[in-house]
Amino acid sequence: MSNQNYVPPSYRYLTFAIIIAVIGSVLVSGSFYTVRAGEKALVFTWGKITSVTSEGLHFKVPIMQTVSKVDIRTQKAEAPAAAASKNMQTVSTVLTLNYHLDPNKLSELYSTVGLEVENKIIAARIQETVKAVVARYTAEELLSMREQVKNEISESLTKQLMEYNIIVDAGGVQITNFDFSRGFNEAIEDKQVAEQKALTAKNNLERIKVEADQKIAQARGEAEAIRIQADAIRAQGGKEYVNLKGIEKWDGRLPTYTGGSGPIPFLEIK
């Protein structure tokens, strides 16, 4: 009677070899990893960071070592912020921050705060910094000195985040327009309207003054011309000069009279 469950030794060896090959393939494939440009890789040995590798193909010990890749390119964080101005006006804005992780301090960063820096570090620092800087200015100053306020916020954030090995890019801080309460916005609008009206009135007054000065100057010029003419007439003999000017303009025709004994113009009989 034959044994139907009998498996030849050659089959057992083949099955074992296949299993070994599969396991070996998995181990070999899991022994290499690739780090792309703009990345770094944290290498953990039994859960502890032992090295940081740059871009390229690398080897790791299967099972014993694991890898976590980190993006070190510029990242963008955006967070709303609310604060109170020096004159207690409510101010709100949105701050945008461009940053990247210090590639030479990744091990320290991971060990202290981890890699979720936007939620754990950046958002909180934005809130604190905006409140501290805005509190030093009145609402009107925030509008007129916006660039200075932005620079102060940028400098403060850069110093604070550097302590966590987070680098703020040059010019990486941008602030939207400061928003105020409706009442304050209406007050600002009323003030601008009043200032515009005052400027218009001032311009009108200046225009009227200039026009008046022009008329005075014109009148003085005309009066001076009359005076000069009168002096010239006196210098030319007075009445004789007037008669001469009349003759120069006479067309040679005598006026026609129906009666009366009035004198003939410009003729004197001696």
pLDDT tens column, 236-247:
655 665 666 666
Average pLDDT over every residue of 68-87: 92
Q: Would you mind telling me the total number of residues written for the chain in this entry?
A: 270
Q: Tell if the pTM clears 0.95, that is, is over it.
A: no
**Architecture label for domain 75-180:** 2-Layer Sandwich (3.30)
In this predicted model, what pLDDT tens digit does every residue of 80-89 receive, in sequence order?
Answer: 998 999 988 8
Q: Is-contact 38 72, C-beta < 8 A?
A: yes
- Among 82, 188, 189, residue whose Cα is nearest residue 135: 82
Spatial CB neighbours of 243, under 8 Å, sequence gap ≥ 6? 266
269 or 153: which leads in pLDDT: 153
pLDDT band per the 50, 70, 90 thresholds, residue 269: very low
Q: Is the pLDDT of residue 153 over 60?
A: yes
Residue ranges covered by each domain of the chain: 9-71, 75-180, 186-248
Contacts of 111 (CB under 8 A, 6+ apart): 49
Tell me the average pLDDT across 128-142: 92
